[in-house]
């Protein structure tokens, strides 16, 4: 066990705001993302981590370039006052979350033709909300991969338990731990706040790809 952390890997341009810390237990630098965030790296000594409830994370990498990243997102939730174009708006938002990650991987040196994906999340954890929230996120991300021709090499989706996720983009390793008991309601509150943010923020537009 190291007595001190090695030098922190250089951050990819545009991700200086992400919380990065030395994970003593796993002996690796970790970048922690929250709902609505993403992170990209090409450093062997860096892992991307998050905790998922109803949200999903797409872990995407170019195995030839050794560059990849992870996002953490949820589709906007339809309520009784939603307009008829809700489905289009939700699809646009989900597509933005995916294209934003892919675009950043390409900017860092990845090639879209080489991409592979692992997906996780979509549990039924938010109270007083339709059980279909997580399933809708699952259906979207798998359909997106199929339409875009990105191979899904593994998936851990659904169920009723939140997940702690760790993804190593350079080698593609994905570690998922089911959290069968939560010590506090931080995760639930964080996702509920995220839902409210989606309801009050204009849906993002398209991302221009390189």
The DSSP secondary structure of 23-45, one letter per residue, reads ETTTTEEEEE--TT-EEEE--TT
88 close to 199: Cβ distance less than 8 angstroms: no
126 has a pLDDT exceeding 70? no
In terms of Cα–Cα distance, which of 138, 182, 184 is closest to 159?
138
178 has a pLDDT exceeding 70? yes
More confident residue, 124 or 72: 72
More confident residue, 163 or 184: 163
In terms of Cα–Cα distance, which of 73, 74, 71 is closest to 58?
71
Mean pLDDT of 149-158: 96
106 has a pLDDT exceeding 80? yes
Length of the chain: 210
**Residue 122 and residue 130: Cα distance in Å, rounded?**
12
Residue 49: strand pairing partners:
32, 166
Confidence band of 205 (pLDDT split at 50, 70, 90): very low
Share of the chain above pLDDT 70, in %: 82
1 has a pLDDT exceeding 70? no
143 has a pLDDT exceeding 70? yes
For 87, residues 6+ apart whose C-beta sits below 8 A from its C-beta are none
Mean pLDDT of 129-145: 86
69 has a pLDDT exceeding 80? yes
């Amino acid at each position: 066990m190291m007595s001190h952390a090695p030098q922190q890997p250089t951050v990819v341009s545009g991700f200086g705001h992400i919380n990065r810390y030395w994970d003593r237990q796993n002996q690796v630098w970790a970048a922690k993302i929250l709902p609505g965030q993403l992170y990209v790296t090409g450093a062997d000594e860096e892992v991307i981590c998050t905790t998922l409830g109803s949200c999903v994370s797409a872990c995407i990498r170019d195995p030839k370039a050794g560059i990849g990243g992870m996002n953490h997102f949820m589709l906007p939730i339809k309520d009784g006052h939603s307009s008829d174009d809700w489905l289009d708006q939700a699809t646009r938002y989900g597509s933005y979350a995916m294209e934003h990650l892919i675009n950043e991987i390409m900017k860092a040196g990845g090639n879209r033709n080489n991409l592979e994906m692992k997906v996780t999340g979509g549990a039924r954890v938010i109270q007083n909300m339709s059980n279909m929230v997580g399933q809708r996120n699952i259906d979207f991300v798998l359909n997106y991969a199929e339409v875009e021709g990105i191979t899904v090499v593994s998936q851990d989706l659904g169920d009723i338990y939140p997940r702690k996720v760790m993804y190593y983009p350079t080698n593609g390793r994905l570690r998922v731990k089911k959290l069968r008991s939560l010590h506090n309601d931080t995760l639930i509150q964080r996702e509920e706040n995220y839902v409210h943010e989606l309801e009050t923020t204009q849906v993002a537009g398209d991302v221009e790809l390189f």
